[in-house]
Structure formats: C-alpha cells, structure tokens
Amino acid sequence: MTTINIIYGTAILEMTYKLLRETAAGNITETVKRLRSDMKVVIKPNLVVAKPANEGATTHPEIVEGIVRFLKDFGVTKPVIAEGSWLGEQTGKAFSCCGYDVLAKRYGLQLVDTKKENTVKKNACGLTLGICNIFLEADFLINVPVLKGHCQTVMTCCLKNLKGCIPDSEKRRYHNIGLHKPVAALNTILKPDLHVIDGICGDPVFEEGGNPVTANRILLGTDPVLLDSYGAALLGYTADEIEYIHYAKEYGAGNLFNTDTKINEFQTENRPKNTVQNQSRLVRELAPLIEDRNACSACYAALIFALHKLGVNNSGRKITETFKIGQGFRGKQSTGIGIGDCAKGCEQHISGCPPSAAAIVRALKNVTAGFLNS
C-alpha cells in the first residue's frame, strides 16, 4: 500500500477509532479482513520510560484503547499488550505510570513485560537476532510507536519501536554492532500488520521525552519504511539522514515516501499550521563533546540531559577533553571522563549501567573542574 492515513484533533480515543474504521473500509481493507476472533493479537506500544504520554515519550493509552475498541468490532476481545522498556527502566512501572494498568483492568487485557519473556534466535541480513517469542507467535501484530526524536538515531517511529520486542541483552548488543543494521534487519523478521503512530505530542529531540511538541495527529499505514520516511519529513529530516531507514529499504522492509504516496487525511480543519519541527539543535550542539563508541540510548541520553542541565555547551564553556561513552570503551584505558561502567578505564569515571542523568550531574559537578573552563 502506498497510502498514509492521518487524522488530526484532540479527542484521541475517538480519532483512533474513526481512523481505523474509515480506513478499514478503504486502503487497509485487505489487512483487517484477516482478523478473526480466535487470533492472538498483540499490540506493541512505546513505553520506553515510566512517564505519562503528555511528556512526549510514550504512547497515549487512549490510542491503544481506540485500537482495542476497533478490534472488538471484529470479535477480537482479548488482545495482548506487550512491551519492554529501555535498559534501567522497569516495564511494570511504565505500564502503571502510563495508564496501561487501568486500561488492562477496564477491558480485562493481559499486559506482558517482554523483559521476562522467552526469546528465540532468528537469522536475517547476515545477523542472528534474539526476539521475544510473544511477537513471533502473534497472528496479528499492531505496532503503536511515538513519532519523536532520538539522540543517536535522530528519530524513532515504526522501525525502531520494534527494539522493544527484544530482550535487554540484545538491546545492549544492538548498540555494540551499530544499531542501524540490526534495527532494519529486525523489521524483516517481525512485520506488523498495522502501524498506528502516536503523533500527538512527541518530543522532537529526546526518546525519553521532556520537550513535547503538540502536533495532534495520528497516522496509520502498513509500510513502516514509508511511514518512517514520511515521519522523518515531519520532523524536518530527509530519509537519507536516518541510517536505519536506508537499510530497511535496502533489506526490502518497505518503500520510501515519494511523490506517488497518497496522503489520506481526516479532520483537516484540526491540522496544525506548521508540521515541520526540527529542535534537535541541542543534541547537535553537544555531540562534538562526546566520543560515542556504541553507547546504549539510555546512557547517551542521560549524558546529553546532564550536560544540558549543567549548562555545558559547545560554544560557551570550553572543554579540554571529550566525554567517553559506550561499549567500545570496555576494557580500554583512556584519558578524559568515562560515562557508564563500560568506560571505567578512563582517567575519571562515572559508574552505572546506565548511569542516571542525575547521577552524572552530581558526579560531573565534582570531576569537571579540570576539564571545563568557564
């Protein structure tokens, strides 16, 4: 399908249901025709951290509720909601904080923490990838990502949201083998039937939110490459700037957004005036101060937050040493300040796996004196 469906507004649950109903009778007909009441339907939101959706990191539960109501029309009454938060976060805490406990209770649904799930190894694109079994066993998989920024991959949406379908050990390993290729390869194994994108108020800079930008839109489609390349444009990037989109296209996971793509819009009277956001200036400004060798997202983001909090920037205060971070520093001696357990061979070191931003702030207040000149 070369159609992207978008609805605008603030009544999130009703918008989601309407978008699904309208398109079920149109360009997603063939997909929803396959729904059967005895199917194992799995919904995969983005609950990367335990923060409510209005902070711009996590999927609004109202969107998932809209999907649940839609599925009920097809006799599917017990879809499973499955997710594994990022390293260092408890998924159970995220389920509770983000309103999924309440949702599950209301509809009698099962919440699955994929950190506790069995995994199966699969080969794809020259890589062997461990994937949580529940997603491989799903008869119908619905991906519900947030369109938002990401410190390392620039943005995250449909393709990268599937990183929540792998165990923590694999999350670490993905960063160690370059992140983009394994994310793209994962999308050749797991192929969600539908992608419903939360574009309500994603943070255009940080995966973990904190700077939500209201856009009041929900997007729907079946091709993750198409949707992500369109999402990149909404955030002010071209698909070429997002490496994993490039690889996903190369691996056959979908097609790029182009002039032939049909955009099917609903409730356009609610469309925001300016849909292009590009607020990653902070990350771009701080990146030259960081020597990143395959750092996990949680680690890298914590450092960015900490530097921002401390008022460190690339133009004002001069830095005499870069911060060292990532699995590439494991077992290595280095000058400078190492962030996280991997970089404990550095001259000075802040422990944690990952360290919290608050811990980095506390530690940097003491250790930066020799490295930063006001």
Helix (H, G, I), strand (E, B) or coil at 194: strand
The least CB distance from residue 343 to ligand SF4, in Å, is: 7
Q: How far apart are CA 125 and CA 287, in angstroms?
A: 30
Closest by CA to 300, choosing from 285, 311, 312, 290, is 290
The pair of structure tokens assigned to 223 is 């091709």
The least CB distance from residue 177 to ligand SF4, in Å, is: 13
Based on the shown chain and the rule CB under 6 A, indicate whether residue 283 belongs to the binding site for ligand SF4.
no
Beta carbon nearer to ligand SF4, 299 or 363: 299
Greatest CA separation for the chain: 65
Beta carbon nearer to ligand SF4, 16 or 297: 297
The least CB distance from residue 296 to ligand SF4, in Å, is: 3
What is the DSSP annotation of 268-288? GGG--S------THHHHHHGG
Beta carbon nearer to ligand SF4, 41 or 304: 304
Based on the shown chain and the rule CB under 6 A, indicate whether residue 341 belongs to the binding site for ligand SF4.
yes
What is the DSSP annotation of 6-57? EEESS-HHHHHHHHHHHHHTTTTHHHHHT--TTS-EEEEE---SS--GGGSS
Length of the chain: 374
Map the footprint of ligand SF4 across residues 311-340, applying CB under 6 A. Answer: 326-327, 340
Q: How far apart are CA 188 and CA 37, in angstroms?
A: 27
Residue of the chain from 237, 354, 360, 361 that contacts ligand SF4 (CB under 6 A): 354
Beta carbon nearer to ligand SF4, 89 or 193: 89
Which residues does residue 45 pair with via DSSP β-bridges, in sequence order? 144
Based on the shown chain and the rule CB under 6 A, indicate whether residue 263 belongs to the binding site for ligand SF4.
no
Residue of the chain from 129, 234, 342, 346 that contacts ligand SF4 (CB under 6 A): 342
Based on the shown chain and the rule CB under 6 A, indicate whether residue 353 belongs to the binding site for ligand SF4.
yes
Helix (H, G, I), strand (E, B) or coil at 197: strand
Beta carbon nearer to ligand SF4, 87 or 357: 87
Residue 231 makes CB contacts below 8 A (sequence gap 6+) with 147, 155, 157, 158, 197, 199, 219
The residue with tokens 């999308």 is 187
The pair of structure tokens assigned to 48 is 């990367």
**How many CB atoms within 10 Å of residue 25?**
9
Residue of the chain from 295, 307, 350, 360 that contacts ligand SF4 (CB under 6 A): 295
Q: Applying CB under 6 A, what is the total number of residues that bind ligand SF4?
A: 13
The piece of 78-86, 243-251, 294-302, 305-313 that touches ligand SF4 (CB under 6 A) is 294-302
Cis amide prior to 288 (ω within 30 degrees): no
What phi and psi, each to the nearest 5 degrees, are found at residue 109? -100, 155
What phi and psi, each to the nearest 5 degrees, are found at residue 5? -105, 135
The least CB distance from residue 351 to ligand SF4, in Å, is: 9
The least CB distance from residue 88 to ligand SF4, in Å, is: 7
The least CB distance from residue 176 to ligand SF4, in Å, is: 8
Beta carbon nearer to ligand SF4, 60 or 349: 349
The least CB distance from residue 151 to ligand SF4, in Å, is: 13
The pair of structure tokens assigned to 370 is 């020799």
Beta carbon nearer to ligand SF4, 47 or 87: 87
Residue of the chain from 87, 112, 197, 312 that contacts ligand SF4 (CB under 6 A): 87
The pair of structure tokens assigned to 201 is 């108020």
When CB distances to ligand SF4 are compared, the closest residue is 340
Q: Name the residues that contact ligand SF4, by CB under 6 A.
A: 87, 172, 295-296, 298-299, 326-327, 340-342, 353-354
